[in-house]
Amino acid sequence: MIQGEGISRLVDVSVACRYLAAQCQVKSGNWTEAMEMLGDSNPFAGSSNSGSKIPNSDGGIKVEASMCYLRGLLMLRLNRADRAKECLLEALALDVKCYEAFELLVGGEMMGIDEEWALIEGLAYREQAQEQAEFVKLMYTTRLKKFKHHAEIDTARKKLMEEYNLADNPDVMFGHADSLYAEYRWADCFAITSRILDLEAVHPSTLPLHLACMTALPHLHSRLFLLAHELVAHEPDSPSSWYAVGLWYLAVKRYGEAKKYFSSHLPQLFIGMEHIQLSNMQLAESHLAASVALCDSDPILFNELGTVAYENRKYDEALKHFSNAVSRAKEVRGSQSMWATLYVNQAHAFRKMGQLLEAKEGYMRVLEIEPRHTIAIASLGITHHLLFELEDAIARYHEALAIEPLAAHVVGLLDSALQANSDVPIHAIPGLGKDDEWEVAMEQRNRAQEAHRSQRSQTQENSNATNLSGISEADSSAMDLVS
Protein backbone atom coordinates (compact mmCIF):
# COMPACT_ATOMS: atom_id res chain seq x y z
CA MET A 1 0.00 0.00 0.00
CA ILE A 2 0.99 3.64 -0.33
CA GLN A 3 3.06 4.71 2.65
CA GLY A 4 3.21 8.07 4.41
CA GLU A 5 0.68 9.89 6.56
CA GLY A 6 0.37 12.89 4.27
CA ILE A 7 -0.13 10.80 1.15
CA SER A 8 -2.63 8.53 2.89
CA ARG A 9 -4.78 11.51 3.91
CA LEU A 10 -4.68 12.84 0.34
CA VAL A 11 -5.88 9.50 -1.05
CA ASP A 12 -8.62 9.41 1.56
CA VAL A 13 -9.96 12.87 0.81
CA SER A 14 -9.44 13.17 -2.97
CA VAL A 15 -11.37 10.93 -5.34
CA ALA A 16 -9.06 11.86 -8.22
CA CYS A 17 -5.97 10.95 -6.17
CA ARG A 18 -7.51 7.66 -5.13
CA TYR A 19 -8.24 6.84 -8.78
CA LEU A 20 -4.68 7.78 -9.78
CA ALA A 21 -3.22 5.64 -6.97
CA ALA A 22 -5.39 2.68 -8.03
CA GLN A 23 -4.13 3.09 -11.60
CA CYS A 24 -0.55 2.94 -10.31
CA GLN A 25 -1.34 -0.30 -8.49
CA VAL A 26 -2.86 -1.75 -11.68
CA LYS A 27 0.23 -0.82 -13.70
CA SER A 28 2.34 -2.55 -11.05
CA GLY A 29 0.22 -5.69 -11.30
CA ASN A 30 -1.14 -5.31 -7.77
CA TRP A 31 -4.75 -6.05 -8.62
CA THR A 32 -5.98 -6.96 -5.16
CA GLU A 33 -4.44 -3.80 -3.66
CA ALA A 34 -5.98 -1.71 -6.43
CA MET A 35 -9.38 -3.25 -5.73
CA GLU A 36 -9.04 -2.48 -2.02
CA MET A 37 -8.35 1.14 -2.91
CA LEU A 38 -11.31 1.44 -5.30
CA GLY A 39 -13.76 -0.62 -3.29
CA ASP A 40 -15.91 -3.51 -4.45
CA SER A 41 -18.74 -1.22 -5.56
CA ASN A 42 -19.34 2.40 -6.50
CA PRO A 43 -19.49 4.36 -3.22
CA PHE A 44 -21.08 7.36 -4.95
CA ALA A 45 -24.09 5.50 -6.36
CA GLY A 46 -27.33 7.16 -5.31
CA SER A 47 -25.76 10.43 -4.18
CA SER A 48 -27.06 13.78 -5.42
CA ASN A 49 -23.97 14.36 -7.58
CA SER A 50 -24.11 10.94 -9.23
CA GLY A 51 -26.27 9.59 -12.01
CA SER A 52 -26.56 9.22 -15.76
CA LYS A 53 -28.32 12.56 -16.29
CA ILE A 54 -25.66 14.68 -14.60
CA PRO A 55 -23.04 15.94 -17.10
CA ASN A 56 -19.41 16.47 -16.21
CA SER A 57 -18.75 20.14 -15.60
CA ASP A 58 -15.37 20.20 -17.39
CA GLY A 59 -16.58 18.27 -20.46
CA GLY A 60 -14.23 15.36 -19.87
CA ILE A 61 -15.01 11.86 -18.65
CA LYS A 62 -16.39 11.68 -15.12
CA VAL A 63 -13.91 10.38 -12.57
CA GLU A 64 -16.71 8.25 -11.15
CA ALA A 65 -17.20 6.56 -14.54
CA SER A 66 -13.45 6.04 -14.94
CA MET A 67 -13.33 4.41 -11.51
CA CYS A 68 -16.20 2.08 -12.46
CA TYR A 69 -14.32 1.15 -15.64
CA LEU A 70 -11.13 0.43 -13.70
CA ARG A 71 -13.15 -1.59 -11.18
CA GLY A 72 -14.61 -3.63 -14.04
CA LEU A 73 -11.14 -4.23 -15.48
CA LEU A 74 -9.94 -5.45 -12.09
CA MET A 75 -12.96 -7.74 -11.75
CA LEU A 76 -11.95 -9.35 -15.04
CA ARG A 77 -8.40 -9.81 -13.78
CA LEU A 78 -9.79 -11.45 -10.66
CA ASN A 79 -12.02 -13.80 -12.73
CA ARG A 80 -15.28 -12.19 -11.64
CA ALA A 81 -16.77 -11.75 -15.11
CA ASP A 82 -20.37 -11.09 -14.05
CA ARG A 83 -19.37 -8.29 -11.68
CA ALA A 84 -16.98 -6.94 -14.31
CA LYS A 85 -19.83 -6.61 -16.77
CA GLU A 86 -21.98 -4.79 -14.20
CA CYS A 87 -19.19 -2.32 -13.44
CA LEU A 88 -18.52 -1.62 -17.11
CA LEU A 89 -22.21 -1.08 -17.84
CA GLU A 90 -22.36 1.29 -14.87
CA ALA A 91 -19.35 3.21 -16.21
CA LEU A 92 -20.99 3.65 -19.60
CA ALA A 93 -24.32 4.63 -18.05
CA LEU A 94 -22.59 7.29 -15.96
CA ASP A 95 -20.70 8.72 -18.94
CA VAL A 96 -21.29 7.74 -22.57
CA LYS A 97 -17.83 9.10 -23.42
CA CYS A 98 -16.18 6.31 -21.41
CA TYR A 99 -15.14 4.56 -24.61
CA GLU A 100 -12.80 2.14 -22.84
CA ALA A 101 -15.78 0.57 -21.07
CA PHE A 102 -17.69 0.27 -24.34
CA GLU A 103 -14.67 -1.26 -26.09
CA LEU A 104 -14.20 -3.83 -23.34
CA LEU A 105 -17.89 -4.79 -23.40
CA VAL A 106 -18.19 -5.02 -27.19
CA GLY A 107 -14.66 -5.93 -28.18
CA GLY A 108 -14.50 -8.45 -25.35
CA GLU A 109 -17.70 -10.17 -26.53
CA MET A 110 -19.33 -9.70 -23.13
CA MET A 111 -22.81 -9.07 -24.55
CA GLY A 112 -25.13 -10.67 -27.06
CA ILE A 113 -26.38 -8.92 -30.19
CA ASP A 114 -29.74 -7.79 -28.79
CA GLU A 115 -28.11 -6.78 -25.52
CA GLU A 116 -25.62 -4.56 -27.36
CA TRP A 117 -28.38 -2.88 -29.32
CA ALA A 118 -30.47 -2.26 -26.21
CA LEU A 119 -27.43 -0.71 -24.54
CA ILE A 120 -26.66 1.89 -27.21
CA GLU A 121 -30.34 2.75 -27.59
CA GLY A 122 -30.68 3.39 -23.86
CA LEU A 123 -27.64 5.59 -23.16
CA ALA A 124 -28.12 9.23 -22.13
CA TYR A 125 -26.28 10.85 -25.05
CA ARG A 126 -28.00 14.25 -24.96
CA GLU A 127 -27.61 14.72 -21.22
CA GLN A 128 -23.94 13.70 -21.13
CA ALA A 129 -22.38 14.40 -24.53
CA GLN A 130 -24.53 17.37 -25.60
CA GLU A 131 -23.13 18.65 -28.96
CA GLN A 132 -21.23 15.39 -29.46
CA ALA A 133 -24.26 13.20 -28.74
CA GLU A 134 -24.98 12.17 -32.34
CA PHE A 135 -21.31 11.54 -33.12
CA VAL A 136 -20.82 9.29 -30.09
CA LYS A 137 -23.92 7.26 -30.89
CA LEU A 138 -22.89 6.87 -34.54
CA MET A 139 -19.43 5.66 -33.57
CA TYR A 140 -20.87 3.15 -31.12
CA THR A 141 -23.42 1.92 -33.66
CA THR A 142 -20.73 1.05 -36.20
CA ARG A 143 -18.96 -1.13 -33.63
CA LEU A 144 -21.90 -3.46 -32.91
CA LYS A 145 -22.07 -7.05 -34.13
CA LYS A 146 -23.06 -7.11 -37.79
CA PHE A 147 -25.55 -9.99 -37.86
CA LYS A 148 -28.59 -7.73 -37.30
CA HIS A 149 -29.60 -4.08 -37.79
CA HIS A 150 -27.75 -3.86 -41.11
CA ALA A 151 -29.58 -0.74 -42.31
CA GLU A 152 -28.95 1.22 -39.10
CA ILE A 153 -25.26 0.31 -39.05
CA ASP A 154 -24.83 1.20 -42.73
CA THR A 155 -26.57 4.54 -42.22
CA ALA A 156 -24.36 5.36 -39.23
CA ARG A 157 -21.19 4.55 -41.16
CA LYS A 158 -22.33 6.59 -44.18
CA LYS A 159 -23.02 9.62 -41.96
CA LEU A 160 -19.60 9.38 -40.35
CA MET A 161 -17.91 9.16 -43.74
CA GLU A 162 -19.86 11.90 -45.51
CA GLU A 163 -21.00 14.37 -42.85
CA TYR A 164 -18.05 14.04 -40.49
CA ASN A 165 -15.40 13.45 -43.21
CA LEU A 166 -14.12 10.29 -41.52
CA ALA A 167 -13.84 8.04 -44.56
CA ASP A 168 -10.16 7.39 -43.77
CA ASN A 169 -10.60 7.11 -40.02
CA PRO A 170 -9.29 3.68 -38.87
CA ASP A 171 -12.17 3.14 -36.43
CA VAL A 172 -14.80 3.90 -39.06
CA MET A 173 -12.98 1.74 -41.59
CA PHE A 174 -12.83 -1.07 -39.05
CA GLY A 175 -16.62 -0.97 -38.72
CA HIS A 176 -16.88 -1.41 -42.50
CA ALA A 177 -14.36 -4.27 -42.48
CA ASP A 178 -16.28 -5.95 -39.68
CA SER A 179 -19.48 -5.77 -41.74
CA LEU A 180 -17.74 -7.35 -44.73
CA TYR A 181 -16.37 -10.14 -42.56
CA ALA A 182 -19.85 -10.84 -41.20
CA GLU A 183 -20.96 -11.23 -44.84
CA TYR A 184 -18.03 -13.61 -45.45
CA ARG A 185 -16.55 -11.24 -48.02
CA TRP A 186 -13.04 -12.02 -46.84
CA ALA A 187 -11.09 -10.58 -49.76
CA ASP A 188 -12.86 -7.20 -49.50
CA CYS A 189 -12.45 -7.24 -45.72
CA PHE A 190 -8.73 -8.01 -46.05
CA ALA A 191 -8.25 -5.06 -48.41
CA ILE A 192 -9.69 -2.69 -45.81
CA THR A 193 -7.84 -4.17 -42.82
CA SER A 194 -4.61 -3.88 -44.82
CA ARG A 195 -5.38 -0.20 -45.45
CA ILE A 196 -6.08 0.37 -41.73
CA LEU A 197 -2.79 -1.22 -40.68
CA ASP A 198 -0.96 0.89 -43.28
CA LEU A 199 -2.46 4.03 -41.74
CA GLU A 200 -2.04 2.93 -38.14
CA ALA A 201 0.47 0.15 -37.47
CA VAL A 202 -1.05 -0.62 -34.07
CA HIS A 203 -4.84 -0.92 -34.21
CA PRO A 204 -5.76 -3.67 -31.72
CA SER A 205 -9.30 -4.24 -33.01
CA THR A 206 -8.19 -4.67 -36.62
CA LEU A 207 -5.38 -7.20 -36.22
CA PRO A 208 -7.56 -10.22 -35.22
CA LEU A 209 -9.90 -9.47 -38.14
CA HIS A 210 -6.93 -9.14 -40.49
CA LEU A 211 -5.58 -12.50 -39.32
CA ALA A 212 -8.97 -14.19 -39.66
CA CYS A 213 -9.24 -13.03 -43.29
CA MET A 214 -5.80 -14.44 -44.04
CA THR A 215 -6.93 -17.76 -42.59
CA ALA A 216 -10.02 -17.82 -44.81
CA LEU A 217 -8.11 -17.01 -48.01
CA PRO A 218 -5.84 -19.94 -48.99
CA HIS A 219 -3.50 -17.84 -51.13
CA LEU A 220 -2.61 -15.79 -48.02
CA HIS A 221 -1.58 -18.72 -45.81
CA SER A 222 2.12 -18.20 -46.52
CA ARG A 223 1.79 -14.52 -45.55
CA LEU A 224 -0.07 -15.57 -42.41
CA PHE A 225 2.85 -17.83 -41.49
CA LEU A 226 5.35 -14.98 -41.88
CA LEU A 227 3.16 -12.50 -40.00
CA ALA A 228 2.65 -14.93 -37.11
CA HIS A 229 6.41 -15.38 -36.78
CA GLU A 230 6.95 -11.63 -36.90
CA LEU A 231 4.32 -10.99 -34.22
CA VAL A 232 5.72 -13.65 -31.89
CA ALA A 233 9.25 -12.30 -32.35
CA HIS A 234 8.30 -8.68 -31.61
CA GLU A 235 5.34 -9.08 -29.24
CA PRO A 236 5.66 -12.47 -27.50
CA ASP A 237 3.36 -11.39 -24.65
CA SER A 238 0.51 -10.28 -26.90
CA PRO A 239 -2.51 -12.62 -27.16
CA SER A 240 -2.87 -11.60 -30.82
CA SER A 241 0.57 -13.03 -31.59
CA TRP A 242 -0.35 -16.49 -30.37
CA TYR A 243 -3.80 -16.17 -31.90
CA ALA A 244 -2.01 -15.72 -35.23
CA VAL A 245 -0.01 -18.89 -34.61
CA GLY A 246 -3.18 -20.81 -33.78
CA LEU A 247 -4.89 -19.56 -36.92
CA TRP A 248 -1.98 -20.68 -39.08
CA TYR A 249 -2.15 -24.19 -37.63
CA LEU A 250 -5.91 -24.12 -38.23
CA ALA A 251 -5.38 -23.00 -41.83
CA VAL A 252 -3.06 -25.92 -42.58
CA LYS A 253 -5.41 -28.37 -40.80
CA ARG A 254 -3.03 -29.16 -37.94
CA TYR A 255 -5.90 -29.08 -35.50
CA GLY A 256 -4.15 -30.57 -32.50
CA GLU A 257 -1.51 -27.83 -32.50
CA ALA A 258 -4.06 -25.12 -33.25
CA LYS A 259 -6.11 -26.03 -30.19
CA LYS A 260 -3.25 -25.09 -27.89
CA TYR A 261 -3.18 -21.51 -29.09
CA PHE A 262 -6.85 -20.65 -28.72
CA SER A 263 -7.81 -20.10 -25.22
CA SER A 264 -15.46 -14.10 -27.89
CA HIS A 265 -17.71 -16.11 -30.14
CA LEU A 266 -15.09 -16.87 -32.85
CA PRO A 267 -12.37 -18.50 -30.71
CA GLN A 268 -14.98 -20.73 -29.09
CA LEU A 269 -16.37 -21.54 -32.52
CA PHE A 270 -12.92 -22.36 -33.88
CA ILE A 271 -12.14 -24.61 -30.92
CA GLY A 272 -15.44 -26.40 -31.45
CA MET A 273 -14.65 -26.88 -35.15
CA GLU A 274 -11.26 -28.34 -34.25
CA HIS A 275 -12.85 -30.81 -31.84
CA ILE A 276 -15.25 -31.86 -34.61
CA GLN A 277 -12.28 -32.57 -36.87
CA LEU A 278 -10.74 -34.62 -34.06
CA SER A 279 -14.08 -36.44 -33.47
CA ASN A 280 -14.36 -35.08 -29.91
CA MET A 281 -18.07 -34.39 -30.25
CA GLN A 282 -18.80 -33.84 -26.56
CA LEU A 283 -16.07 -31.20 -26.23
CA ALA A 284 -17.10 -29.67 -29.56
CA GLU A 285 -20.68 -29.31 -28.36
CA SER A 286 -19.50 -27.66 -25.14
CA HIS A 287 -17.44 -25.01 -26.93
CA LEU A 288 -20.13 -24.38 -29.53
CA ALA A 289 -22.69 -23.87 -26.76
CA ALA A 290 -20.37 -21.28 -25.21
CA SER A 291 -20.13 -19.59 -28.59
CA VAL A 292 -23.93 -19.50 -28.96
CA ALA A 293 -24.17 -17.72 -25.61
CA LEU A 294 -22.04 -14.93 -27.09
CA CYS A 295 -23.55 -14.82 -30.58
CA ASP A 296 -26.78 -16.51 -31.60
CA SER A 297 -26.89 -15.22 -35.18
CA ASP A 298 -23.85 -16.71 -36.93
CA PRO A 299 -24.98 -19.23 -39.59
CA ILE A 300 -21.66 -21.10 -39.48
CA LEU A 301 -22.07 -21.65 -35.74
CA PHE A 302 -25.42 -23.38 -36.23
CA ASN A 303 -23.95 -25.39 -39.09
CA GLU A 304 -21.32 -26.75 -36.70
CA LEU A 305 -23.95 -27.53 -34.05
CA GLY A 306 -25.88 -29.39 -36.71
CA THR A 307 -22.75 -31.30 -37.67
CA VAL A 308 -22.27 -32.46 -34.07
CA ALA A 309 -25.90 -33.59 -33.82
CA TYR A 310 -25.66 -35.33 -37.20
CA GLU A 311 -22.52 -37.21 -36.23
CA ASN A 312 -24.32 -38.29 -33.04
CA ARG A 313 -27.22 -39.54 -35.24
CA LYS A 314 -29.61 -37.02 -33.69
CA TYR A 315 -31.02 -36.17 -37.09
CA ASP A 316 -34.06 -34.24 -35.85
CA GLU A 317 -31.80 -31.97 -33.80
CA ALA A 318 -29.38 -31.66 -36.72
CA LEU A 319 -32.22 -30.62 -39.02
CA LYS A 320 -33.28 -27.95 -36.53
CA HIS A 321 -29.74 -26.51 -36.38
CA PHE A 322 -29.20 -26.63 -40.15
CA SER A 323 -32.56 -24.94 -40.73
CA ASN A 324 -31.55 -22.25 -38.22
CA ALA A 325 -28.30 -21.79 -40.12
CA VAL A 326 -30.13 -21.39 -43.43
CA SER A 327 -32.62 -18.88 -42.01
CA ARG A 328 -29.81 -16.80 -40.50
CA ALA A 329 -27.80 -17.02 -43.71
CA LYS A 330 -30.66 -15.29 -45.51
CA GLU A 331 -30.19 -12.31 -43.19
CA VAL A 332 -26.51 -11.99 -44.10
CA ARG A 333 -26.01 -9.99 -47.26
CA GLY A 334 -23.26 -12.06 -48.81
CA SER A 335 -23.09 -14.12 -51.98
CA GLN A 336 -25.51 -17.05 -52.01
CA SER A 337 -22.69 -19.31 -53.14
CA MET A 338 -21.21 -18.98 -49.64
CA TRP A 339 -24.18 -20.86 -48.25
CA ALA A 340 -24.19 -23.92 -50.51
CA THR A 341 -22.65 -25.88 -47.63
CA LEU A 342 -25.54 -24.96 -45.35
CA TYR A 343 -28.15 -25.94 -47.92
CA VAL A 344 -26.52 -29.29 -48.70
CA ASN A 345 -26.22 -30.16 -45.00
CA GLN A 346 -29.87 -29.27 -44.44
CA ALA A 347 -30.78 -31.54 -47.33
CA HIS A 348 -28.70 -34.37 -45.80
CA ALA A 349 -30.69 -34.01 -42.57
CA PHE A 350 -34.00 -34.00 -44.46
CA ARG A 351 -32.91 -37.22 -46.17
CA LYS A 352 -31.99 -38.89 -42.89
CA MET A 353 -35.35 -37.89 -41.42
CA GLY A 354 -37.12 -39.55 -44.35
CA GLN A 355 -38.28 -36.26 -45.84
CA LEU A 356 -36.98 -37.21 -49.26
CA LEU A 357 -38.91 -34.69 -51.34
CA GLU A 358 -37.58 -31.86 -49.15
CA ALA A 359 -34.09 -33.33 -49.48
CA LYS A 360 -34.41 -33.44 -53.25
CA GLU A 361 -35.55 -29.82 -53.30
CA GLY A 362 -32.59 -28.84 -51.11
CA TYR A 363 -30.02 -30.52 -53.35
CA MET A 364 -31.58 -28.91 -56.42
CA ARG A 365 -31.26 -25.53 -54.72
CA VAL A 366 -27.56 -26.14 -54.19
CA LEU A 367 -27.15 -27.03 -57.86
CA GLU A 368 -28.85 -23.79 -58.88
CA ILE A 369 -26.06 -22.01 -57.00
CA GLU A 370 -23.18 -24.35 -57.91
CA PRO A 371 -24.05 -26.63 -60.86
CA ARG A 372 -20.84 -28.67 -60.41
CA HIS A 373 -21.24 -29.27 -56.65
CA THR A 374 -20.22 -32.94 -56.58
CA ILE A 375 -21.57 -33.67 -53.11
CA ALA A 376 -24.99 -32.26 -53.99
CA ILE A 377 -25.08 -34.16 -57.29
CA ALA A 378 -24.16 -37.49 -55.71
CA SER A 379 -26.49 -36.90 -52.75
CA LEU A 380 -29.32 -36.10 -55.13
CA GLY A 381 -28.52 -39.44 -56.75
CA ILE A 382 -28.86 -41.12 -53.34
CA THR A 383 -32.25 -39.46 -52.86
CA HIS A 384 -33.45 -40.66 -56.26
CA HIS A 385 -32.08 -44.07 -55.29
CA LEU A 386 -34.10 -44.14 -52.06
CA LEU A 387 -37.21 -43.10 -53.97
CA PHE A 388 -36.48 -45.98 -56.38
CA GLU A 389 -36.08 -43.53 -59.22
CA LEU A 390 -33.19 -45.63 -60.41
CA GLU A 391 -32.65 -44.13 -63.85
CA ASP A 392 -32.42 -40.65 -62.35
CA ALA A 393 -30.08 -41.96 -59.65
CA ILE A 394 -27.79 -43.59 -62.22
CA ALA A 395 -27.72 -40.38 -64.26
CA ARG A 396 -26.73 -38.33 -61.22
CA TYR A 397 -23.99 -40.79 -60.22
CA HIS A 398 -22.57 -40.61 -63.73
CA GLU A 399 -22.70 -36.81 -63.56
CA ALA A 400 -20.81 -36.80 -60.26
CA LEU A 401 -18.18 -39.20 -61.60
CA ALA A 402 -17.69 -37.02 -64.65
CA ILE A 403 -16.53 -34.28 -62.28
CA GLU A 404 -14.62 -36.52 -59.83
CA PRO A 405 -13.77 -39.80 -61.62
CA LEU A 406 -11.87 -41.20 -58.62
CA ALA A 407 -14.73 -40.85 -56.10
CA ALA A 408 -14.82 -44.48 -54.96
CA HIS A 409 -17.96 -44.07 -52.85
CA VAL A 410 -19.90 -42.79 -55.88
CA VAL A 411 -18.66 -45.75 -57.92
CA GLY A 412 -20.09 -48.03 -55.22
CA LEU A 413 -23.40 -46.22 -55.26
CA LEU A 414 -23.56 -46.43 -59.05
CA ASP A 415 -22.87 -50.17 -58.88
CA SER A 416 -25.69 -50.59 -56.35
CA ALA A 417 -28.11 -48.65 -58.54
CA LEU A 418 -27.20 -50.63 -61.65
CA GLN A 419 -27.67 -53.92 -59.81
CA ALA A 420 -30.98 -52.77 -58.35
CA ASN A 421 -32.11 -51.69 -61.79
CA SER A 422 -31.39 -55.23 -62.96
CA ASP A 423 -33.77 -56.58 -60.29
CA VAL A 424 -31.03 -58.19 -58.24
CA PRO A 425 -32.52 -59.31 -54.89
CA ILE A 426 -31.72 -56.86 -52.13
CA HIS A 427 -29.80 -59.29 -49.93
CA ALA A 428 -27.47 -60.15 -52.80
CA ILE A 429 -26.22 -56.59 -53.14
CA PRO A 430 -22.74 -56.16 -51.64
CA GLY A 431 -22.46 -53.81 -48.68
CA LEU A 432 -26.02 -54.13 -47.43
CA GLY A 433 -26.00 -54.89 -43.71
CA LYS A 434 -27.89 -54.45 -40.48
CA ASP A 435 -27.21 -50.73 -40.34
CA ASP A 436 -29.32 -50.26 -43.46
CA GLU A 437 -32.65 -51.05 -41.78
CA TRP A 438 -33.76 -47.42 -41.65
CA GLU A 439 -32.89 -46.73 -45.28
CA VAL A 440 -34.49 -50.00 -46.38
CA ALA A 441 -37.63 -49.16 -44.41
CA MET A 442 -37.84 -45.86 -46.23
CA GLU A 443 -37.45 -47.59 -49.57
CA GLN A 444 -40.11 -50.11 -48.64
CA ARG A 445 -42.51 -47.35 -47.68
CA ASN A 446 -42.01 -45.51 -50.95
CA ARG A 447 -42.33 -48.68 -52.98
CA ALA A 448 -45.48 -49.61 -51.07
CA GLN A 449 -47.00 -46.20 -51.79
CA GLU A 450 -46.13 -46.49 -55.45
CA ALA A 451 -47.62 -49.97 -55.54
CA HIS A 452 -50.82 -48.74 -53.93
CA ARG A 453 -51.17 -45.91 -56.42
CA SER A 454 -50.72 -48.34 -59.30
CA GLN A 455 -53.25 -50.77 -57.79
CA ARG A 456 -50.78 -53.58 -57.88
CA SER A 457 -51.53 -56.85 -56.23
CA GLN A 458 -50.16 -57.64 -52.78
CA THR A 459 -47.97 -60.29 -54.33
CA GLN A 460 -46.30 -57.87 -56.68
CA GLU A 461 -45.91 -55.35 -53.85
CA ASN A 462 -44.06 -57.90 -51.74
CA SER A 463 -41.89 -58.74 -54.73
CA ASN A 464 -41.02 -55.11 -55.21
CA ALA A 465 -40.08 -54.80 -51.54
CA THR A 466 -37.33 -57.32 -52.09
CA ASN A 467 -35.90 -55.51 -55.12
CA LEU A 468 -34.88 -52.26 -53.50
CA SER A 469 -31.91 -50.07 -54.21
CA GLY A 470 -29.57 -51.50 -51.61
CA ILE A 471 -27.84 -48.39 -50.32
CA SER A 472 -25.83 -49.11 -47.19
CA GLU A 473 -25.57 -46.63 -44.33
CA ALA A 474 -21.93 -46.12 -45.22
CA ASP A 475 -22.85 -45.42 -48.85
CA SER A 476 -25.64 -43.00 -48.03
CA SER A 477 -23.39 -41.08 -45.66
CA ALA A 478 -20.42 -41.04 -48.00
CA MET A 479 -20.60 -37.29 -48.61
CA ASP A 480 -21.84 -36.32 -45.17
CA LEU A 481 -21.15 -33.87 -43.75
CA VAL A 482 -19.82 -30.60 -45.10
CA SER A 483 -18.60 -28.28 -42.36
pLDDT in tens, 272-316: 887 787 677 888 888 888 888 877 778 888 999 999 999 888 999
Q: How confident is the model at residue 363 (pLDDT cuts 50, 70, 90)?
A: very high
Position 309 scores a pLDDT of: 93
Q: CATH 1.25.40.10 in the chain: give the residue spans.
A: 264-334, 341-476
Q: How many CA atoms lie within 13 A of 31 on its CB side?
A: 11
Say which DSSP state 220 is in.
G
Q: Report cis status (omega within 30 of 0) of the bond before 481.
A: yes
Show the DSSP H helices in 200-314 as ranges.
Answer: 206-216, 221-234, 239-251, 255-261, 265-277, 281-294, 299-311
Please choose, from the candidates 410, 418, 351, the residue with its C-alpha nearest in 3D space to the C-alpha of residue 375: 410
- Tens digit of pLDDT for each residue in 142-167? 888 877 888 888 899 999 999 999 99
Q: For residue 204, is pLDDT > 70?
A: yes
pLDDT averaged over the chain? 79
Distance of CA 183 to the CA centre of its chain: 11
Residues 401 and 374: beta-carbon distance below 8 Å:
no
Q: How far is CA 8 from the centre of its chain?
A: 50
Q: What is the CATH number of domain 264-334?
A: 1.25.40.10
User: What is the CATH architecture of 341-476?
Assistant: Alpha Horseshoe (1.25)
